[in-house]
Every structure is written in C-alpha cells, then in structure tokens.
C-alpha cells in the first residue's frame, strides 16, 4: 500500500500532476497529522523547502492540512534538506517535512519526511499514512485547530551547526573556494558557512528565481564550477544539488571528484587521525577501486542497493558510521543523522587543511576503475534473469576478470531495460566484456 505514493525518497513527481497537486498534498498532510495525533497529544511539524516556485503552493497546502488535523506548524523557509533534519531534532519537533525534488528540474517537486531524531521514516510509518489517506478526513474543531509560526533564524542555526562539525583548531584563511549551490536551498547558507570559517568565497548558482534550480549548475552539471575554479585560480570548488544533500568537488586544477572518491577521502582522513573505522557501506555501483583501496587499509566494505536510504539502513544494521554513493550522497553518522552536502564538504576541506595536501595528493594511488554501462532493451515477456546465453557469458567474463574487475547486471526500475555494467582495471577490457554480455542477452 505504501508504495502507491511513497518512493525510496518520499513522494515526488511533476507539479500539477497527481500526486504533486495542492489538493492531494493537503490530504497527505491531514493524514500525516492524524497519524501523529494518534501517538502524541500536541504534535509540532517543521516545514522547509527548496527554491522551486511551486514550493509556495505546496507549503500552503501542507500548512492547511496539518492545521486542520490539529497539528502546529513551524515554517523554516528555504533551507537544505539536512537542515530540516537537524532542526527537527534540535527543536524537539514531532516531524520534519521537506518540499523538494532534490536534483530534478524545477517542474518537479516532492515531499519527504524526517522523524523526531532527524532520520528517515520506516515503511511501517508510510503504510500507516497510506491507510489514513484512504479514510475520510476528520477536521478538527475550531478550538483544536493547529497554529503556524515562522522560525526566523532557521538558516543561522543551521550555519552554526555546520561550522560545529569543523575542527576548532583549523581555519580556512588563505583558501579561495568556489561554492555552487545549484540555485537551490543552500544559496544563502553555503557561502556563509565557508566565509565564516575564513575562506574567500566565490559564489555561483546562488541566484534562484524559482525556475532555475539545478539548471546547468550544481552537482548534476559541474561544468560551470570547473570553469569558475580555473578562471578564478581557486583552491577548490564545491557543488551541491538543489536540496544540498549531494556533493561533488573540484580541485585547483579543475579535476572533478565524485562521491566514491570523496567517501574514500573521509575514511582515509579518519584513519590518519588514528580513529577506528570498522567498515564502510557503498552501493552496487560504487567503484571497485575504492573497495580495493579500503580493504588494503584493513577496512571492511559492503554494498547496499542503490539509494542513500539503503546505505543508511545497512549502516544502522552494521553499527558503522560512514557510507555513500558515487552521486555524492555521503553519510557521516557521527556528524549528522542524514546525508549532508555541506557537512561532507567540510570533512574533506578539513582533511586537506589539516594535512596541507590537495585532494589529488590524498588520493594518490587510488585510481577509479573504468566502467562501461550498456542498456539493453528487453523483448516483451523476456526473462533476463534466467537467460541461458547471458548466464554463460557472465560466468566466462567473471572468470576472465578474476579479482581485477566485476560484473553488475540489473533491471531498470522505470523502463523495460537491463543495465549491463562491467568494471575493470583496463578500459578496453571493460568495454569488450560489457559488449559480450549485451550481445549474449540479445540472442
């Protein structure tokens, strides 16, 4: 039932099409409010948003829905997704709500939730909400309606939280940092965090107009950041996405570092400070070079399904702290309860500042394996999982690669496609092997 509305990261879609319409969002907030009221007498909900023009409309609908169920609302205005998670915990609120479609273009939007501890909610909670949605609304009487207020210093509180995750013994004086906030939720916050820690900041992607979020900027389009770092002669660059939970970075030479590399840097920095890192969680897509490098350092590495939600779940099961995805969702659970692009960037910058080394120098000896990805369209009714030619070809390729590469074959979640990925130390070998597997599937 829960999957009717909820995806792996809340509810998301095109604005004006079900379910991202004001009437549904009002009903959703009312249903969530009723679920909260069933467990708590006087719940309070925080609502933050990114910079999409549709955020105004959806914020009003959420506010009305919660108030109609007798739930108080605190409006945070435009703040990053991880800021909502932090403030929900810090304000002892019952629930945090984010209006954002993350790295999607402005025409999309979404709703996601955090519990009182600033963590994502389990499937059981989503099922309870879906059940409440199927029932007729029960409007609170006038005397029991919820109230709404605004937390005027929400951004300032979050800025101080971000700075608290950076070493008091270090300063960013002398560093020139380009910050690209993707015209998104961190447009005011991200430049201030690095400026207040002493850096000279060049801000790009910090002029939202409601329509330009993620457009040719930010973590999904780092070309503008690379160019600005080079033309400005900056020390490094930081690219966030629309809701600032995703991070990519660029060094002074214009070299882009993805989430896999940044995750390795976070781990290596902790090991250099004699901290114990028992294990790290990546995903099925994490580059094998990172796995090999971590194992050489005595750090166990395990893979979760693609999606930061699954990385977080596996970290909880293992009792570990560090994990992430190549897309730039990074988790440091001793710093924050959820992925946070700014906090992750500060961890990397801190590693560079403390060691006096660049990201490239800290990654010396770790070179990402080439990956080849081929999408193969399935025939109607084709059972790719039990396809004998593919199974035979896969066994042969895995034998050929041995411990110097790997094969990942998985179905697309949205299209009739099978994604064939081969990773190897040699790019030509990865391409040839992937092509063999794709050809076998087409037989």
Tell me the catalytic residues: 102
Residues 325 and 298 sit within 8 Å (Cβ to Cβ): no
- The H-or-E segment that residue 375 falls in is strand 371-377
How many angstroms separate the CA atoms of 305 and 16, rounded? 31
CB under 8 Å to 321, separation ≥6 — which residues?
Answer: 277, 315, 331, 332, 333, 334
Residues 320 and 278 sit within 8 Å (Cβ to Cβ): yes
Q: How far is CA 205 from CA 106, 187, 270, in A?
A: 14, 7, 31
How many angstroms separate the CA atoms of 127 and 32, rounded? 11
User: Which residue in 270, 221, 304, 245 sits closest to 83, CA to CA?
Assistant: 245
DSSP code for 384: G
The token pair at 250 is 């660029």
- The H-or-E segment that residue 200 falls in is strand 200-204
CB under 8 Å to 143, separation ≥6 — which residues?
Answer: none
How many angstroms separate the CA atoms of 14 and 26, rounded? 16
243 burial class (0-12, 13-18, 19+ CB within 10 angstroms)? buried
Partner residues linked to 64 by β-bridges: none
108 burial class (0-12, 13-18, 19+ CB within 10 angstroms)? buried
Residues 324 and 287 sit within 8 Å (Cβ to Cβ): no
77 burial class (0-12, 13-18, 19+ CB within 10 angstroms)? middle
Is the preceding omega at residue 354 within 30 degrees of 0, hence cis?
no
Classify the C-alpha dihedral 266-270-272-273 as positive or negative: positive
């Amino acid at each position: 039932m829960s999957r009717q509305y909820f995806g792996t990261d809340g509810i998301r879609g095109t604005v004006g099409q079900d379910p991202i319409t004001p009437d549904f969002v009002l009903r959703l907030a009312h249903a969530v409010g009723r679920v909260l009221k069933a467990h708590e007498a006087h719940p309070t909900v925080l609502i933050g948003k990114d910079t999409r023009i549709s955020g105004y409309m959806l914020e009003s609908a959420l506010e009305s829905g919660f108030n109609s169920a007798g739930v108080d609302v605190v409006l945070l205005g435009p703040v990053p997704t991880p800021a909502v998670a932090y403030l929900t915990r810090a304000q002892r609120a019952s629930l945090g709500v984010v209006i954002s479609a993350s790295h999607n273009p402005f025409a999309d939007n979404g709703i996601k939730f955090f519990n009182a501890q600033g963590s994502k909610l389990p499937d059981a909670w989503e099922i309870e909400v879906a059940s409440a949605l199927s029932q007729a609304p029960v409007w609170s009487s006038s005397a029991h309606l919820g109230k709404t207020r605004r937390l005027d210093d929400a951004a300032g509180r979050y800025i101080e939280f971000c700075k608290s995750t950076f070493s008091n013994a270090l300063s960013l004086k002398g560093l020139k940092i380009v910050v690209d906030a993707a015209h998104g939720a961190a447009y005011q916050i991200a430049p201030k965090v690095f400026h207040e820690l002493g850096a000279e900041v060049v801000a790009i992607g910090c002029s939202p107009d409601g329509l330009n979020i993620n457009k040719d900027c930010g973590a999904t389009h780092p070309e503008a950041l690379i160019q600005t770092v080079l033309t400005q002669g900056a020390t490094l660059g930081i690219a966030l996405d629309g809701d600032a939970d995703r991070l990519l970075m660029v060094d002074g030479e214009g070299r882009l570092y993805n989430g896999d590399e940044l995750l390795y840097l976070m781990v290596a920095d902790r090991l250099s400070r004699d901290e114990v890192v028992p294990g790290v969680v990546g995903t099925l897509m994490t580059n094998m070079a990172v796995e090999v490098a971590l194992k050489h350092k005595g750090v166990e590495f395990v893979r979760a399904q693609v999606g930061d939600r699954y990385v977080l779940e596996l970290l909880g099961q293992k009792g570990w702290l560090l994990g992430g995805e190549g897309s730039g969702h990074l988790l440091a659970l001793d710093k924050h309860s959820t992925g946070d692009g700014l906090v992750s960037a500060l961890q990397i910058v801190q590693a560079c500042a403390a060691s006096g080394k660049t990201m490239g120098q800290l990654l010396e000896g770790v070179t990402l394996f080439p990956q080849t990805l081929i999408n193969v369209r399935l025939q109607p009714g084709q059972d790719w999982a039990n396809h004998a030619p593919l199974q035979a070809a896969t066994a042969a390729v895995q034998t050929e690669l041995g411990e110097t590469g790997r094969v990942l074959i998985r179905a697309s979640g949205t299209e009739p496609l099978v994604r064939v990925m081969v990773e190897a130390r040699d790019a030509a070998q990865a391409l040839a092997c992937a092509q063999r597997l794709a050809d076998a599937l087409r037989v």
